[in-house]
Amino acid sequence: MLAKDKKGKILLVDDNQSVLNSLKLLLSDRSEYLECLRGPEQIPGALKKHEFDVVILDMNFSAGVNSGDEGLLWLKKILNHDAAISVVLLTAYGSIDLAIKAVKMGAVDFIVKPWDNKKLLATLSSALRLRESAIELRDLKKKQKQINRTHIRNGNILQARSPEMKSLNEQIDKIVLTDVNILILGESGTGKEVLAQELHRRSNRRDGAFISVDLGAVGETVFESELFGHKRGSFTDAKEDRMGRVQVASGGTLFLDEIGNVPFSLQAKLLTLIQNKTVTPIGVDHPVPVDIRLICATNMDLEDMVSEGLFREDLFYRINTIQLTIPALRERTTDISAFAHFFLKHYQEKYQKEKLEFTRETLEKVTGYSWPGNIRELKHAIERAVIMSDSCTILPEDILLAEKRQSPLLIRKPTLDFVEKETIKAALQNNLGNISHTAKELSITRQTLYAKIYKYGL
């Protein structure tokens, strides 16, 4: 039921003053703003003055007419003005056919006069929550359009010269218009999310939302609520209904980054989502259908994790219909110069600098470095150089590299982090990069080892 917390802006439209008076008495202390209109012709003016969350609209205004056509006409006009407004239709003539027609046109519910106050308040509360979800989705679509515009430019990151990237782009061209599940592999900083966004931008779902979820940052206790949503009151902190990220992504693309970090106990829920194309929010007793294109990414060795019993084999095959691997930057050195110039131009425009250029020595320094942090590290290095530059050229000393920042003092008196990093690096080398053997040698779990590798950029 709608709480008395002054929530939402509500517009009441009915030609019966007694109806308006009753609604006003019921809702005035429960709404942030309340306006009453006797005639529908006043609706356009009211919508221009205020951004209403809910419109409670009578379906019949002309004497002797009870077809509901007027209500449907104004419903259409209201939604044409703002598709996110929740419209609740009010009529003295209950009709299932009319109710279905109204809902198909975009109404959120249908109430028959005389109404039950508790039911009306519950309906209004649901309408307000739907309004919040609609606004969230609208904002996400706006952001998606911005992402699309940005990636028309940033997509150049994927259009590289190396044979490795040319091969990757050939694979991309073959799958962009399909809905197959895709697993993107690559080291941290190689641009896995950029690739996922590009796949979405070029897909048939480009007008839908692109929802990215970093599973490495989602705690086990909030995993279900974050992804699948929950119903108000389903647990202690569930103070209102919440639509999960999966439902928000319906009609678009769901990108699950760091898929290898999902606890084994929760992997079955992801498998159910993929198999049944449904989610069941916490506190809801029935599944909700969703229509998503699933893209996952990881820098972990999932096949190794499957053999170790840390990742479900059936889930691995479900998310891995097509596998795309982004090579590390050190494996495609012919792309470094192009990336460096791309970021130089981008940050020059962003920070409104005069035309900048690399000196020959600077470009040699950039192309001769291994870039263990991949494109992300290169990007940050160029951004810093642009910000700090006082001339029209980027000098070698403007490009700070990780291996050059190490102080001699640290070598003589190493910190605990330094010792740990070097120990892990040595163990990885001794075991030829095998995660399981390295973790066993260090007496730590594989997940802890992955976290340390990520922390130290190994």
> What are the tens digits of pLDDT across the range 428-454?
877 777 787 788 888 787 777 877 777
The CATH number that domain 329-404 falls under is 1.10.8.60
Main-chain phi, psi angles of 13, to 5 degrees: -130, 110
H or E, element range at 447? helix 446-456
Percent of the chain with pLDDT over 90: 43
Q: Is 180 in contact with 321 (CB distance < 8 Å)?
A: yes
What distances in angstroms separate CA 65 from CA 56, 60, 260, 445, one per listed residue?
Answer: 19, 6, 62, 74
Strand (E) positions, 14-105?
33-37, 54-58, 86-91
Would you place residue 363 in the very low, low, confident or very high pLDDT band (cuts 50, 70, 90)?
Answer: very high
For residues 110-131, give the mean pLDDT: 86
What's the mean per-residue pLDDT of the chain? 84
Distance from C-alpha of 136 to C-alpha of 176, rounded to nearest angstrom: 27
Domain with CATH 3.40.50.2300 in the chain: 9-132
Q: What is the pLDDT of residue 141?
A: 66
**Average pLDDT, stretch 397-417?**
59
Dig out the tokens for 166 from the structure.
């040319």
pLDDT over threshold 90, residue 115: no
Asked if 210 contacts 164 with a C-beta cutoff of 8 angstroms, the reply is no
The first and second tokens of residue 363, run together, are 């470009």
Tens of pLDDT along 193-220? Answer: 999 999 998 899 988 889 999 998 887 7
Give the CATH H-level superfamily of domain 158-325. P-loop containing nucleotide triphosphate hydrolases (3.40.50.300)
Q: Tell me where in the chain the CATH 1.10.10 domain(s) lie.
A: 408-456
**Is residue 191 scored above 70 in pLDDT?**
yes
The CATH number assigned to the domain with range 408-456 reads: 1.10.10
How far is it, in rounded angstroms, from Cα 428 to Cα 416?
18
Confidence of residue 237 (pLDDT cuts 50, 70, 90): confident
Tell me 59's DSSP state: S
Task: Check whether the bond before 114 is cis (ω within 30° of 0).
Answer: yes
Mean pLDDT of 185-193: 92
Q: What is the mean pLDDT of residues 126-135?
A: 84
* 8 Å CB contact between 182 and 321: yes
Look at residue 345 and tell me whether its pLDDT is greater than 60. yes
Sheet holding 293-298, edge to edge: 210-214, 253-257, 293-298, 182-185, 322-325
Q: Binning pLDDT at 50, 70 and 90, where does residue 146 land?
A: low
Classified by CATH at the fold level, domain 9-132 comes out as Rossmann fold (3.40.50)
Give the range among 72-81, 276-285, 419-428 with minimum mean pLDDT.
419-428
Q: What is the pLDDT of residue 15?
A: 86
What pTM was estimated for this model as a whole?
Answer: 0.62
| CA atoms of 327 and 337, how far apart (whole Å) | 16
The band of 408, judged by pLDDT with boundaries at 50, 70 and 90, is: very low
| Ranges assigned E (strand) in 59-142 | 86-91, 109-112
Q: How confident is the model at residue 411 (pLDDT cuts 50, 70, 90)?
A: very low
The packing angle between helices 446-456 and 416-430, to 10°, is 120
Per-residue confidence (pLDDT) for residue 149, from 0 to 100 = 55
Instruction: Check if the beta carbon of residue 289 is closer than 8 Å to that of residue 272.
Output: no
pLDDT confidence of residue 157: 63
SS (H, E, C) 316-367: HHHHCCEEEECCCHHHCHHHHHHHHHHHHHHHHHHCCCCCCEECHHHHHHHH
Enumerate the CATH 1.10.8.60 domain ranges in the chain, comma separated: 329-404
User: What is the model's pLDDT at position 196?
Assistant: 94
Q: Residue 46: is its pLDDT beyond 70?
A: yes
Residue 325's nearest CA partner among 350, 354, 302 is 302
Q: Where in the chain do CATH 3.40.50.300 domains reside?
A: 158-325
Average pLDDT estimate for 153-175? 79
CB-based contact 392:350 (threshold 8 Å): no
* Nearest to 91, CA basis, from 110, 70, 64: 110
Q: Quick check: 128 and 240 in contact, CB under 8 A?
A: no
pLDDT band at 136 (very low <50, low <70, confident <90, very high): confident
Q: In the predicted model, what is the mean pLDDT of residues 359-380?
A: 94
